[in-house]
Amino acid sequence: MILKQLRKHSILSISVGILFACSLIVFFATEASYSTIERASLWVRNYFGYFYLYLGFGCVLALILIAFSKYGNIKLGKPSSKPKYTLWSWTAMLYSAGMGSGILLRAVQEPVFMQQNPPFASQLSPNILALEFTFYQWGLTAWAFYGLFAMVVGYALHVKKKKVRISATISDHVKSKVLRKGVDITTIITTVFGLIAAIGLGTTQINGGLNHISDSNFGIATTIGLCVFISTIACYSAWQGVNKGIKIFSKLNIIVTFTILMFVFTTSDMGGILVSFSKSTMHYIINFAPMSLALGSYNPGIEFLTDWTFYYWAFWLAWAPFTGIFIARISKGRTIRQLLLGVLIIPSLGTFFWFSVFGTSAFHLIEEWGVYNNEFSNVFTSIFIFFEHYPYASILNITSLFLLISFLITSVDSAVFVLSMFTDKGSKNPSKTHRVIWSVFILLATIALILLGNAKTNINVLEAVQRLLIITSLPFSFFIIIMFYYFIKDLRNRKMKEKK
């Protein structure tokens, strides 16, 4: 059955072949591959980092302008159609796919890092500046990348009735099948690398949490077991489809996340958190333009930007095609204005409040200690150390582990579903065989990288995969401009036809 599908679907066979060849190269030439990836990722960030900044700022402005323009009234679907999913279901799914376990990974570690290492000199207090810059790296720009792809793909999918592929956004203007197929294959490869990195990092954090809670030393066997468990559940969820699998897990994620958030909020300095949230959000909005363009005193310097902002922008951009397609898939029946404002505002505000609660509470703990000895510096254990200072710490830690697993499941199942749509000739409801193929392939690739990383103790293989995402994001940084240009051209042609 699998061999039949590979012979039948060229994009599937080519993508799997390229990924398999890359895996062999990395396995037999690990050190050379790591060195090449590291140099190439630094080259991308050094030479295109500022371009990423300008591109991100441009995307935010473009989406806001379109949302409030006459084009914002265009419905993704028939004029009489209603949203397929409620606002609650829609928000849960887009947030789980777009951010996922990252908010747990960085909840405490990133705000504290920014407080201890201010990105630039400011008259603001270190606490407010730290939250403001954290908002900047997780806010409007990240969701603008996602939103732009979601808007353009959603228009092609629901209005122009195209197939579910990134190449569908340019198919009326670019006739070369080779170029269109190249765009789709690049998207698939980038998505797979992103998934491998997400599963590897997520299971590492879960393993770190288990070790911290139980004071044990669970090793690589536990990490692999977690990968198998998460991939199996994700495969089942993707098998069930969006309505029965992905939507249920996404809702569960948001409920558990909100519960943890409210517990920490109500057992901390609520007034201080609300003040920090409002002040940081206000300054973020006021300073958004100069921060986005790294102007004058808002320029943290090339080293800081390379390590943080350039890396984040490249990472969000690399994830944008897959996340954008998934958001487009679930946005049928909404107007472009509803899609864009929903994607930009709702998850951004939710993320801002999340970081305000955990960041402000961590700042207060550090003030009480008097001396900070990097207790929150480890990205994998910081949140578990943080919970030790709250009532019911063991319950919080166990719940966080559960949430990490659930977030990983929703990231994997939504990506498997999108990959299956890609390779099954752009079908909105791809073959279940494709869903199984991608679930199994991603699991095997992740296990192989974990084993390789364990064997090569001097090389962080998972970090190399993350760096690889920065490299593969470069083509999308140019493609997003081309895609947007043709999208605006289509909108103008549509309006001209309506006038006639």
pLDDT tens column, 168-180: 888 888 778 888 8
Q: What is the pLDDT of residue 228?
A: 87
Range with lowest mean pLDDT among 86-95, 132-141, 482-491: 86-95
Phi, psi of 335 (to 5 degrees): -80, 165
Q: What is the pLDDT of residue 415?
A: 80
CA distance 102 to 14: 31
| 438 confidence band (pLDDT: 50, 70, 90) | confident
Whether the per-residue pLDDT at 259 is higher than 60: the answer is yes
Specify the CATH number of the domain 2-499: 1.20.1740
Reading the block at residue 460, the tokens are 């962080």
Q: What is the pLDDT of residue 320?
A: 86
Instruction: Answer yes or no: are the C-beta atoms of 137 and 381 closer than 8 Å.
Output: no
Instruction: Answer yes or no: are the C-beta atoms of 139 and 348 closer than 8 Å.
Output: yes
161 torsion bin: left (phi>0), alpha (psi -120 to 50), beta (else): left
Q: What is the pLDDT of residue 185?
A: 86
More confident residue, 107 or 98: 107
Mean pLDDT computed over 212-230 = 81
Nearest residue to 94 (alpha-carbon basis) of 347, 300, 307: 347
Mean pLDDT computed over 423-439 = 80
Percent of the chain with pLDDT strictly greater than 70: 92
Instruction: Answer yes or no: are the C-beta atoms of 385 and 210 closer than 8 Å.
Output: no
CA distance 351 to 101: 12
Reading the block at residue 476, the tokens are 């999308």
Nearest residue to 246 (alpha-carbon basis) of 470, 418, 43: 418
Whether the per-residue pLDDT at 184 is higher than 90: the answer is no
Whether the per-residue pLDDT at 9 is higher than 70: the answer is no
Reading the block at residue 45, the tokens are 């960030």
Instruction: Answer yes or no: are the C-beta atoms of 73 and 337 closer than 8 Å.
Output: yes
Q: Collect all residues with Cβ–Cβ distance below 8 Å to 295 and sequence separation of at least 6.
A: 289
Q: What is the pLDDT of residue 343?
A: 92
Given CA atoms 91, 95, 97, 101 in this order, what sign does their dihedral have? negative
Mean pLDDT computed over 315-320 = 84
CA distance 55 to 61: 10
Instruction: Answer yes or no: are the C-beta atoms of 188 and 422 closer than 8 Å.
Output: yes
Mean pLDDT computed over 295-324 = 87
* Residues β-bridged to residue 335: 75
Q: What is the pLDDT of residue 459?
A: 59
CA distance 144 to 150: 9
| 453 confidence band (pLDDT: 50, 70, 90) | low
Mean pLDDT computed over 188-215 = 79
Range with lowest mean pLDDT among 190-199, 221-230, 294-303: 190-199
Q: What is the pLDDT of residue 214?
A: 78
CA distance 52 to 314: 7
CA distance 10 to 30: 29
Interval 112-134: pLDDT, tens: 999 999 999 888 899 999 999 99
Q: What is the pLDDT of residue 275?
A: 96
Q: What is the pLDDT of residue 82?
A: 85
| 8 confidence band (pLDDT: 50, 70, 90) | low
CA distance 214 to 151: 46
Q: What is the pLDDT of residue 241?
A: 66
Reading the block at residue 373, the tokens are 């000895």
| 109 confidence band (pLDDT: 50, 70, 90) | very high
Cα 390 to chain centroid, rounded = 29
